[in-house]
Amino acid sequence: MEGTRLPDHRRRGALAATWDVLTAISMTVGRGPTARAVAAAARLTDADLVVDIGCGPGTAVREAARRGASAAGVDPAPAMLRLARWLTAFRRANRVAWIRGRAEDLPLPDGAATVVWALSSLHHWQDRQAGIREISRVLKPGGRLLLAERLARPGGRGHSAHGLTAAQAEAIATDAATAGFADLRITNVRAGRRALVLIEGTGSVGSAADPSQATAESRQEHSLP
């Protein structure tokens, strides 16, 4: 007797779900050095509230918690968040939260965080300027911005283009300055075998209340742990 065949749309859905899980698992490999390098640069304390944009499986969120901070991981992919929750429960990390969302519309209230970082996710943002404005909104005045990407060579293609060239990093720092960030600097950092470009800045006083952004009533907001 022939086995029952799934309808095409169900097969496609099952394949997509499997691919999402495999992608999420693959992203757990090799992320520790980058998480540790950025967490060290952030100089975290137990008074910090960290938001990780594009958190993936949550490596950097757990690193922030290990250093005593409270942290929330934001990611648009449900498979990533499910894996992050599972790994966090397995490793018994405390003071963490997981939120579905994207950089351009963070589901967090104004001035919610003292540190916002994005590790190897900036090149996936659909609108980098909008994402930077959102970071400015959710940071407390004087909060710290850290954007870390693989240092890419100009003209790279495929996987080698996943990252930022020095010129692209300069352009993003300019966007951050336009959004009100101060004390901006760009440094090259080693994270294991990987060369990173790190953009750092400080949120200016009053940057958290941007009237051009959506109001709290139109945004489903989450509290940090």
**Inside any domain, residue 137:** yes
Helices (H), 94-195: 128-138, 166-178
Q: Could you report the per-residue pLDDT of 17-45, keeping only the tens digit for each?
A: 444 555 555 454 457 899 999 999 999 99
Helices (H), the chain: 8-26, 32-42, 59-66, 78-91, 128-138, 166-178
Helices and strands (H and E) in the chain: how many: 6, 7
**Structural domains in the chain (count):** 1
pLDDT, residue 90, reads 78
Domain of 83 in residue numbering reads as 30-207
**Inside any domain, residue 218:** no
**Inside any domain, residue 11:** no
**Inside any domain, residue 92:** yes
pLDDT, greater one: 111 or 154: 111
Across the beta sheet with 194-202, the strand order is: 96-100, 70-75, 49-53, 113-119, 139-150, 194-202, 182-191
pLDDT, residue 94, reads 80
**Inside any domain, residue 4:** no
Q: Which residues pair with 146 in a beta bridge?
A: 117, 200
Q: Could you report the per-residue pLDDT of 174-190, keeping only the tens digit for each?
A: 999 999 999 999 999 99
142 confidence band (pLDDT: 50, 70, 90): very high
**Inside any domain, residue 74:** yes
- Which residue type, as a one-letter code, is found at position 185? R
**Inside any domain, residue 134:** yes
Q: Could you report the per-residue pLDDT of 72-83, keeping only the tens digit for each?
A: 999 999 999 999
**Inside any domain, residue 133:** yes
The CATH number of whichever domain residue 75 belongs to comes to 3.40.50.150
Are 175 and 128 spatial neighbours (Cβ–Cβ below 8 Å)?
A: yes
Are 146 and 202 spatial neighbours (Cβ–Cβ below 8 Å)?
A: no
Tokens, residue 214 = 């959506």
Residue 9 has pLDDT above 60, yes or no: no
Q: Hey, is 26 helix, strand or coil?
A: helix
